[in-house]
Amino acid sequence: MLHVVTGAAGFIGSRLVAALNRAGITEILAVDDLEDGAKVRNLAAAEIADYLDKREFLAQLKSGRLDGSIEAVLHQGACSDTMERDGRYMMENNYGYSKALFDWCREQEAPFLYASSASVYGAGVDFAEQRENERPLNAYAYSKFLFDQYVRRRLGQTGAAGAGQVAGLRYFNVYGPNEAHKGRMASVAFHAFHQFRAEGRVKLFEGSDGYGDGGQLRDFVHVDDAVAVNLWLLENREVSGIFNCGTGRAQTFNELAAAVINAASGGDQAAEDLARRGLIEYIPFPPQLAGKYQSYTQADLGALRAAGYEGEFMPVKEGVAAYVAELMQA
């Protein structure tokens, strides 16, 4: 029986494949779109049973060729560019494709774990998984929100029992290894590291939305912590629902920049001191992001903890140090 990972050559998907390998699972069907061939480096060390293009995979599902052969589907594939303006492409890729996989898994009673996003909360300040807190600001966020709504309706109609596990994870600001191919959509930690190496400083936005310079707050979560939640769900197939996946701890961009600089330079200085030395520089807030920017996110982990997840999440200082150590070896 195959474990299917979509987006398998991508950021979270490739780390998930590696984690499955460490758990002794190699019967993996890797599904992706390798139009960007640079992503293959993320899978070079992995053990998989087969690879399929995402279009061929969907065609094989619809033809019935894969009936009875899949243990679980871990659906990480999506267009994650929050600045993508082609809403038609976004909805087809993120919403329509996800619906097709979900419906097939329900028919086969196969577990279906999928990537949602904290972007569904928009500029809100309440981050519990409830409809009244969800106000997406762009096409990407809307595609994720609408699929969550589809899942909710289907679970409400039939319930999870007897139809296979269904669980969505609303990833907050994920950072860590294997994200280089994402370009401008790679994490703040990734860009801060390369900026510091190239220019000797890290640039952050000036204050906005009532926050001071570099004081905007995000819930930054290491990719391996996000992967750990996926593996826990695989082991606890009675758990279904939509869950936040973050640390539950909002930290400033200043803290993240300081963690990057200190890890790269062997120092241990506060952001204020780094800014005075010119190692953190504040630049004007881009007008094109006005009204489209999340200045504060913090995962409410109540539902995930109530479901039984007891794993810990690395704070920025620890997680970024581990990430920078890997980046410096590349």
Active site residues: 140, 182
The conformation of residue 54, written as its DSSP 8-state character, comes to H
Angle at 252 between CA 205 and CA 173, to 5 degrees: 90
Strand-pairing partners, residue 220, are: 173
Question: Which DSSP helix (H) or strand (E) runs through 52?
Answer: strand 50-53
| Nearest residue to 168 (alpha-carbon basis) of 220, 112, 104, 123 | 112
3-state DSSP of 254-270: HHHHHHHHHHHHCCCCC
Distance in angstroms (rounded) separating the CA atoms of residues 288 and 319: 31
For residue 164, the Cα-to-chain-centroid distance in whole angstroms is: 23
CB 8 within 8 A of CB 31: yes
Angle at 158 between CA 304 and CA 114, to 5 degrees: 40
Rounded alpha-carbon distances, angstroms, from residue 279 to 7, 196, 199, 241: 36, 8, 9, 43
Distance in angstroms (rounded) separating the CA atoms of residues 156 and 122: 25
Would you state the torsion angle of the CA atoms of residues 65, 67, 68, 72, taken in this order, to the nearest 10 degrees? 110
Q: Where are the alpha helices (DSSP H) in the chain?
A: 11-22, 54-63, 87-90, 97-108, 139-158, 188-199, 223-235, 253-265, 271-276, 302-306, 316-329
